[in-house]
């Protein structure tokens, strides 16, 4: 039976029960009237579930492999949120473009294209940072590792929960970012410009596995990321199987 046919049948039953309820009320049979009213409610069609309203997403592999795709020229909203689903639970990032416009635009495009999906939190140092942003697929990493963005001035401090790009010096920010696990205000003077903050779920960030510390490639300035960049997930999963996963990241609030 189709949904439309079932609905017509329920509506017909509802009308019949309504007539019986009226008759029962006229006869003064309170018990019968109550039973009829209950049956009428049961026969009524259920309210439809609320319509899903997911943010528009573009996760095309073609865009990830093509820096000329129009996606990469989009301007980020002034304020937006991204939901990051991890093997330790979800957390949300709120990005404010006025904090770091260049960084916000790149992050918005990376998240919208699915760059971060199925990657690893490869550098988690307790009491310091949790770093991510190396694609699981080395072919994607090869496209973006040297495609840097201009520097942003530091307008916000690297306090606990803020997120910023990793770098080795001027004009070296590309795709790697970190979440501050503590107040790391000493990074402000080194040019690390936060683009946003963890707006919810910081407990999930705190649970990310920190047992490997700097061993799985470490930071960009350490100069030991060669195997990480060349091997991606395959190398990380073989050598550091307890690393937590960034399952997917989705933009929650996009402009129309």
Taking only the tens place, the pLDDT of each residue in 127-175 is: 999 999 999 999 999 999 999 999 999 999 999 999 999 999 999 999 9
Q: How far is CA 199 from the centre of its chain?
A: 12
Question: Band of the pLDDT at 253, cuts 50, 70, 90?
Answer: low
Which structure tokens are listed for 77? 């909203």
Residue 88 contacts residue 125 (beta carbons within 8 Å): no
pLDDT at 38: 38
For the chain, give the mean pLDDT.
83
Residue 113 contacts residue 228 (beta carbons within 8 Å): no
pLDDT at 53: 36
Inform me whether the pLDDT recorded for 217 exceeds 70.
yes
182 three-state secondary structure: coil
Inform me whether the pLDDT recorded for 3 exceeds 80.
no
List CB contacts of 42: < 8 A, sequence separation 6 or more: none
Residue 84 contacts residue 133 (beta carbons within 8 Å): no
- Nearest one of 175, 197, 233 to 91, comparing CA atoms: 197
Domain ranges of the chain: 3-43, 61-251
253 three-state secondary structure: coil
List CB contacts of 113: < 8 A, sequence separation 6 or more: 58, 59, 60, 63, 64, 71
Number of Cβ within 10 Å of residue 177's Cβ equals 24
Fold classified for 61-251: Cyclophilin (2.40.100)
- Nearest one of 209, 148, 208 to 176, comparing CA atoms: 148
Mean pLDDT for 7-15 is 43
Q: How many CA atoms lie within 13 A of 44 on its CB side?
A: 10
Q: How far is CA 74 from the centre of its chain?
A: 18
pLDDT at 61: 78
pLDDT at 30: 40
- Nearest one of 205, 217, 212 to 176, comparing CA atoms: 217
């Amino acid at each position: 039976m189709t949904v439309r046919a079932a609905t017509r049948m329920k509506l017909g039953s509802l009308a019949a029960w309504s007539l019986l309820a009226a008759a029962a009320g006229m006869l003064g049979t309170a018990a019968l009237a109550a039973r009829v009213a209950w049956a009428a409610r049961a026969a009524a069609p259920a309210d439809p579930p609320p319509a899903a309203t997911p943010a528009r997403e573009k996760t095309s592999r073609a865009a990830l492999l093509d820096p000329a795709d129009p996606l990469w020229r989009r301007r980020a909203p002034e304020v937006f949120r991204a939901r990051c689903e991890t093997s330790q639970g979800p957390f949300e990032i709120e990005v404010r473009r006025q904090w770091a416009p260049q960084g916000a635009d790149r992050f918005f495009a990376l998240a919208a294209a699915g760059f971060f999906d199925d990657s690893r939190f490869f550098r988690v140092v307790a009491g310091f940072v949790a770093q991510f942003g190396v694609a699981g697929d080395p072919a994607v990493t090869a496209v973006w590792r040297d495609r840097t963005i201009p520097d942003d001035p530091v307008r916000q401090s690297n306090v606990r929960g803020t997120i910023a790009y990793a770098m080795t010096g001027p004009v070296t920010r590309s795709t790697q970012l970190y979440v501050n696990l503590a107040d790391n205000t000493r990074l402000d003077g080194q040019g690390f410009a936060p683009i946003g903050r963890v707006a919810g779920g910081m407990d999930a960030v705190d649970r990310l596995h920190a047992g490997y510390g700097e061993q799985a490639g470490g930071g960009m300035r350490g100069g030991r990321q060669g195997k990480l960049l060349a091997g991606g997930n395959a190398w990380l999963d073989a050598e550091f199987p307890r690393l937590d996963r960034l399952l997917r990241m989705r933009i929650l609030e996009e402009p129309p």
